[in-house]
A and B are shown apart, each in its own frame.
Chain A
Amino acid sequence: MQRRVAIIGVGYTPFRPITPDMSFKEMMFEAAQKAYEDAGVCPRKDIDAFVTCEEDFTHGRSIFNIHTPDNIGAVMKRIHTLPAESLYGLADAFMLINTGLVDVMAVESHSKASNMLTPDYLVAHAMDPVYNKPLGYNPYFIAGMEMNRYLHDSGVTREQCALVSVKNRANALLNPDAAYGDRIAMDDVLESETMFWPLNRLDMSSPADGGIVMVVACEEKARDLCDKPVWVRGVGWCSDAPSLETREWGEAVYARLAGEMAYRVAGVTNPRIEVDFAEVDDTFTYKELQHLEALKLCAPGQAGFMVEEGATQREGAFPVNVSGGSLGVGRLDEATGLQKVLEVVLQLRGEAGPRQLEDVSVGLAQSWRGVPANSGAVAILSNE
């Protein structure tokens, strides 16, 4: 890479189960205003390009990017939309800045999940239209099948998975912006309704609303504008087989390959030692464990023991999802990946308030696109 890239500003609205007081436009505006204020930039003068991450059907508008430029100050400027998980937006900005074409970019994503009244049908609409969709199943059976296979292959137990839910919801109590903070016990998870066996209700995250904007800049601009730049040292993304018939069910191959790419770009050779903490996808409890293994953040087959021993607690040796993760904060549709990045940025800047980690300099954020997709992205961030 020719250029170093840094996150120089973040802005977001609180993550809430419903947000009837604002339209998606007003939500985007609020998050953007805060991010530009944080970065000390004027979007109309200082930002060269914008990228937003939103899926059409999630928002109920075809070609959603029609609705984006006005709300983030991008009118008559370079702006494009990725119908993708928002970590891809950060990767996109990383690439564009590295071409030398632009110096300062904004990345936006938001969730208005509460406005989508038939979310399970929405996910069903993502299935293979010829082969799988006509079966008419609630598509989350895929997560149940995957969990079953993962537990079978790895030896991880349902109890260990339940502890992820306990940990993340407790972490969220220290995050004033999280929607689903709670103090629960392992048995609460194990005794909650079976949804898609072995997946119980409290193994699953719930949707939340919220908008996030980040300002990303090349090194020169970052040093010029910002006292506490957070460097994007590496990004990686990958798609594994989309079809249910040909995919790996036990291993998160997409996360392994995206991680390998990000480590290569960042020059990380031993992630377990070089990375201090992580925010990984925890749409479902088992996903956090599956992703930790795929990202080589624990020894193979050890993710279950890690959570059992408390190593991934906020006070543990390798804190995971200190923000509360999707289980505690809420699942923010496409904005989920940026919420992970947001937490890493706040921690690395020392601005995480009561949940601040001590002595952290390298953090990892990872996202997964959600059922029924088989793809995801990774970013490695550092304050040095």
Chain B
Amino acid sequence: MRKVAVVGAGMTKFMRRAQETGKELAWETAKLALDSCELTVKDVDCVVMGTAPDAFDMVHMKHEYLSDGAGAWRKPYVRGVLGGGTGVFTACQAWYHVASGMFDVCLAVTEEKMSSCLPHPQGAFVTCWDQFTESPLGTSLLWFFAWEMNRYMTSHGITEREIALVSVKNKKNALHHPCAQLPGEITVDDVMKSEIMAWPVKRLDVSPTSDGAAVLVFASEEVAKRITDRPVWVQGVGWCLDTMYIGQRDLYYPKYVEYAARMAYDMAGIKDPRREIDIAEPYDPFSYKELHHGEGLLLCDKGEAVRLLVDGETQKTGRQPWCPSGGALGVGNAIAATGVMKVAELFWQLRGEAGERQVPGRPRRGVAQAWGDEMQVGTVVVLGV
């Protein structure tokens, strides 16, 4: 299999509402990422676009509209979608564009302009679910998270206060992220006292909706070695979808994440992810999700993630930091761009360029994961140096 490296990365600030159009966000970030590895758009062989539902930007076939902003003018260009898992999948997609031998340099652009959808981007989600059996109930996105969180807590006897620690940790990590939308020093009590959105989910358990873009540059081994001394290799990729019939499975454990992780670990030759992975960026759109996904990524036993959290093992200075970036809870959640932000965080951490966020002990391997659709997608990327 052809070796593929990440050689450059860039992102915008994440914010509730950006003045820039989606196209402009894509352009500024693509330029930044290319500048970071001293390439120009002329060096780019192909472009992949990751952006979740058209309902956010409110443009049908929005990738067509975004293409020139993404640097795809007169180039092979395609978009992939896996709901909230799109961002990390875009990295998988860029990987196979290069690994296939068809291209040497691939630009992976992700963009989300959620503020275009009025009155609130949450409204776009009502058009996601089954139009016959689910949406007619007035279904809200939050219900799904509340159901899953409730099931997860009840199955393992975990408390809301313990889960709140995820928000505390990630918002604190985000204090050092220059693009963060909602960094802060908060306490468990702050989370507990924040208003109930859909019990057991409270406002501070939830990541914000965001505008933003994030871009990675992928290159073949030959090109990567020519342009940088410190390529970060894509060691494994995996993606998996479970059934859409939510009542047909048990929400307490994300089996699809486990399957996707196993695909990526097999490719990377990882036997014991708990020891062989130095940093993790599990997807944390909601606080409990980081724990849920950490278990799916086989970084601990089922129901044990909360113990790692309480013991401080997943803190920035802990044994295996989770979400050192600040995650979706701290940096913001521009759906597809958040997935790529997580992969970019691994890139920066593994190169020792994460500044104040740099985790100690020279990490050599990291895993990033995203999740999406109707609680049914796992997408996983393993990077290493």
Contacts and interface: CB of A to CB of B under 8 A. Distances in A.
Q: Do chains A and B touch in the complex (CB under 8 A)?
A: yes
Interface of A: 1-2, 55-58, 60-70, 74-84, 88, 91-92, 94-96, 98-101, 122-123, 125-130, 236-243, 246, 253-254, 257-258, 261, 265, 369, 372-375
Contact of B244 (A66, A373, A374): A66
Interface string B128-139: 111100000000
Contacts of B237: 101
Interface stretch (B49-57, B279-287, B324-332): B49-57
Contact of A80 (B57, B76, B89, B100): B89
List the 7 closest pairs (A to B, CB-CB), nearest first.
A62-B53, A126-B60, A95-B100, A98-B100, A125-B60, A99-B99, A239-B77
A125 B78 contact: no
Nearest to B372: A63
B270 interface: no
Given A95-B97, A95-B100, A373-B64, 6 more contacts: A66-B128, A66-B244, A66-B374, A69-B244, A79-B240, A373-B61
A81 B82 contact: yes
Contacts of B125: 62
A68 B130 CA distance: 11
Contact of A239 (B54, B75, B83): B75
A1 B101 contact: yes
Residue of A60, A77, A123, A243 contacting most chain B CB atoms (<10 Å): A77
Contacts of B68: 241-243, 246
Q: A interface, by DSSP: helix, strand, loop or mixed? A: mixed
B103 to A, nearest CB: 9
Given A66-B83, A81-B80, A95-B97, A265 B102 contact: yes
B322 interface: no
B242 A236 contact: no
A65 B83 contact: yes
Contacts of A374: 64
A82 B74 CA distance: 19
Contact of B59 (A98, A126, A265): A126
Given A1-B102, A80-B81, A243-B68, A70 B243 contact: yes
Contacts of B372: 63
Contacts of B259: 76
Interface in B103-140: 116, 124-125, 127-131
A129 B66 CA distance: 11
B112 to A, nearest CB: 13
A203 B255 CA distance: 51
B242 A75 contact: yes
A76 B242 contact: yes
Contact of B58 (A94, A129, A265): A129
B67 A56 contact: no
B255 A76 contact: yes
B240 A78 contact: yes
Interface string B307-345: 000000000000000000000000000000000000000
B241 A74 contact: yes
B83 A240 contact: no
Contacts of A83: 54, 61, 63, 79, 81
A360 to B, nearest CB: 27
A96 B1 CA distance: 11
19 contacts: A55-B61, A62-B55, A63-B373, A69-B241, A76-B242, A80-B81, A81-B80, A83-B79, A95-B96, A126-B60, A126-B61, A128-B59, A129-B58, A239-B64, A239-B67, A241-B68, A241-B74, A257-B74, A374-B64
